[in-house]
Structure 1
Amino acid sequence: MMIYNTLLYYCYSPIANAEQFATDHLAFCKSLNLVGRIIVAEEGLNGTVSGTAAACETYMRHLKADERFAKTDFKIDEVTEPSFIKMHCRYKAEIVHSGLRDTSIINPNEKTGKYLEPAEFSEMLDRDDVIVLDVRSNYEHNLGKFKNAVTLDIENFRDFPDQINALAKYKDKKIMTYCTGGIKCEKASALLLHHGFTDVYQLHGGIIKYGKEAGGKDFEGKCYVFDNRIAVDVNSVNPTIVSTCYNCGKTTPKMINCANPECNEHFTQCDECGDNLQGCCSVECTTHPRKRPYDGTGYYVKVPQQVAKA
């Protein structure tokens, strides 16, 4: 039986000629028959790739052999099949979009929250002087989050800077930030420090590493991931389900994308409503002429939206 791995990683490290690097790196990944999604920017790399265990091992060795990426921390999941269909490696302005390009405000290589390893994070969770801050989007924390975590009403991470004033009431607390793999916390914690928060921490390696090293204790629900698995189990110590069906309110751990590609809403839906609504979030979406066939997974290869002709 073939063994496949999925690698989740990021590395803040300056890349000269990042656009050309993205082109060359895509060719290298394809030479290993990897699939996945990598974002390349002048500030570093952010990637999830999947392939055979041997190909993934070669990829990790190759990346770490480059001194710019030697300290990259890979989160490795064993999977039954590759977690993507295609391989994309794209050049963008940021490896996680914050909308803040001023490095005097955010530069994770110079100033960011103090790392907490999973065991340390777990030990601090119940302290009275601590606030646990989820810096992810609504659809992510609706599926799962740490118990008693403060969550933000944001659709994308670029909305996070607008939440700083609402968080000011926690300035006298220790702020422990967390996200899926750690990358958003690098910028979120840096921004909090810039705005006068003095005791800021981040979960090193994010929820995924916490699940592997601390058993996921006190993480409620599932963790949203950006590949065709959509959600993964984290907690093997005291697991629970916290998400509910968007349509009927029944408890369900299942998250899908709406089968209407022009909606593509991320939402939780039970199997019964999924069957009744053909994987759509509403009756209206079931009538859309471009509705995708629902196979029960709710994962679809991205389809570009059609542009109306003048």
Structure 2
Amino acid sequence: MTAFQTLLYYCYTPIAEAEQFAADHLAFCKSLNLTGRIIVADEGLNGTVSGTREACAAYMAAIRADERFDRLEFKIDDVEEPSFIKMHCRYKAEIVHSGLRDPHIINPNQRTGKHLEPTEFRDMLDRDDVVVLDVRSNYEHNLGRFKNAVTLDIDNFRDFPEKINELAQYKDKKVLTYCTGGIKCEKASALLLHHGFSDVYQLHGGIIKYGKEAGGENFEGKCYVFDNRVAVDVNRVNPTVVSTCRNCGRTTPKMINCANPECNEHFTQCDQCGEELQGCCSVECTTHPRKRTYDGTGYYVKVPQPVNKA
């Protein structure tokens, strides 16, 4: 049994005085010596936190005791060490940046796609009347995705609304949306319904829950996660690697951030090219004066920049 756990969760629920809630919640997390990244908005809560098993248990108990979060589900991973270095809890306009802020059009508490449990999702994957839609960004689905999934050329989820017209050809299909933990699908499926897609579903709990409850069957590659693990295994049934090194084309499951901090691009790179390019995506990036030291992981802790108070 590992000494630490990482918790992934979200909940769309109205939070009054959310900015103050974020400040209080940060203090609470620090009191438990948790590390992680939490976003608080008027529309809800989205977070990944990591710490000792005892600290995680105390955190989950506190969240579950708050009736605003009675629908919240935790995806729990046992880890060898905390998945973050620091604890951040910030107030923002949305808990996942989409630009879809009009509650009269998109409100996950009122209308979303039908939630499918992992085994239900698995059983529908190969049906002729189904299309499986990945609503994540390029660097995520390039690392791993469901077999035969439709992927979109987007760098950020906020670009998703611009792709709706490209999906019109699937309006007569059952559209099964999925993402890492489910949070993006809440708004993506709602937007599809708003634009006239009549039969829309979403993978409840996302890829992470699918791996735990359905063995990850037919998920190809690894799943990108937003902590220092970078990527996690999902498929225990028929695993395969689908990602290739950006630089040489070899098959590789390894994803890193470019060592040039001004580039910081997420990309897949084999170990050989990583050593040759010092963890950079290109020769040009290797010459940057602030290039970070590549330690083989390709994960870098953000260093706070001085604030000019003048």
The TM-score bracket by the shorter chain reads over 0.9
* Residue matched to 2:30: 30
Q: Can you list the C-alpha shifts for 1:211-241, whole angstroms capped at 9, x where unaligned?
A: 0000000000000000000000000000000
* Residue matched to 2:237: 237
The TM-score normalised by the length of structure 2 is 0.98
Quote the offset at 1:305 in angstroms. Answer: 7.0
Contact in 1 for aligned 2:137/2:155 (Cα 8 Å): yes
Quote the offset at 1:59 in angstroms. Answer: 0.2
1:294 is aligned with what amino acid? Y
* Residue 54 of structure 1 pairs with residue 54 of structure 2: yes
* Residue matched to 1:278: 278
- The worse-fitting range, judged by mean Cα deviation, of 151-160 and 98-107 is 98-107
2:63 is aligned with what amino acid? L
Q: State how 1:32-181 maps to structure 2 within 5 Å.
A: 32-181=32-181
RMSD: 1.3
- The worse-fitting range, judged by mean Cα deviation, of 295-304 and 129-138 is 295-304
* Structure-1 separation of matches of 2:18 and 2:203: 28
Q: What secondary structure does 2:9 align onto?
A: strand
* Residue 15 of structure 1 pairs with residue 42 of structure 2: no
* Structure-2 separation of matches of 1:170 and 1:207: 22
2:248 is aligned with what amino acid? C
Structure 1 gap ranges (5+)? none
Contact in 1 for aligned 2:132/2:149 (Cα 8 Å): yes
Contact in 2 for aligned 1:262/1:305 (Cα 8 Å): no
* Residue matched to 1:206: 206
* Structure-1 separation of matches of 2:227 and 2:217: 24
Contact in 1 for aligned 2:2/2:79 (Cα 8 Å): no
* Structure-1 separation of matches of 2:23 and 2:73: 23
Quote the offset at 1:302 in angstroms. Answer: 1.8
Contact in 2 for aligned 1:115/1:202 (Cα 8 Å): yes
Contact in 2 for aligned 1:261/1:303 (Cα 8 Å): no
Contact in 2 for aligned 1:19/1:41 (Cα 8 Å): yes
Q: 1:305 to 1:131 in 2, by over 3 A?
A: farther
Q: Can you list the C-alpha shifts for 1:97-136, whole angstroms capped at 9, x where unaligned?
A: 1111101111000000000000000000000000000000
Q: 1:156 to 1:304 in 2, by over 3 A?
A: farther
Contact in 1 for aligned 2:2/2:78 (Cα 8 Å): no
* Structure-2 separation of matches of 1:137 and 1:271: 24
Identity across the alignment (%):
83
How many residues matched? 308
* Structure-1 separation of matches of 2:183 and 2:300: 25
* Structure-1 separation of matches of 2:253 and 2:199: 34
Contact in 1 for aligned 2:137/2:156 (Cα 8 Å): yes
* Structure-2 separation of matches of 1:89 and 1:58: 17
Q: Can you list the C-alpha shifts for 1:227-272, whole angstroms capped at 9, x where unaligned?
A: 0000000000000000000000000000000000100000000000
Quote the offset at 1:2 in angstroms. Answer: 5.8
Q: What secondary structure does 1:164 align onto?
A: helix
Q: What secondary structure does 2:88 align onto?
A: strand
* Structure-2 separation of matches of 1:114 and 1:87: 34
Quote the offset at 1:306 in angstroms. Answer: 8.7
* Structure-2 separation of matches of 1:184 and 1:202: 10
Q: State how 1:233-272 maps to structure 2 within 5 Å.
A: 233-272=233-272
1:163 is aligned with what amino acid? K
Q: 1:149 to 1:306 in 2, by over 3 A?
A: farther
Q: 1:306 to 1:27 in 2, by over 3 A?
A: closer
* Structure-2 separation of matches of 1:148 and 1:306: 47
Q: Can you list the C-alpha shifts for 1:62-111, whole angstroms capped at 9, x where unaligned?
A: 00100001221000000000000000000000000111110111100000
Contact in 2 for aligned 1:261/1:305 (Cα 8 Å): no
1:70 is aligned with what amino acid? D
Contact in 2 for aligned 1:10/1:183 (Cα 8 Å): yes
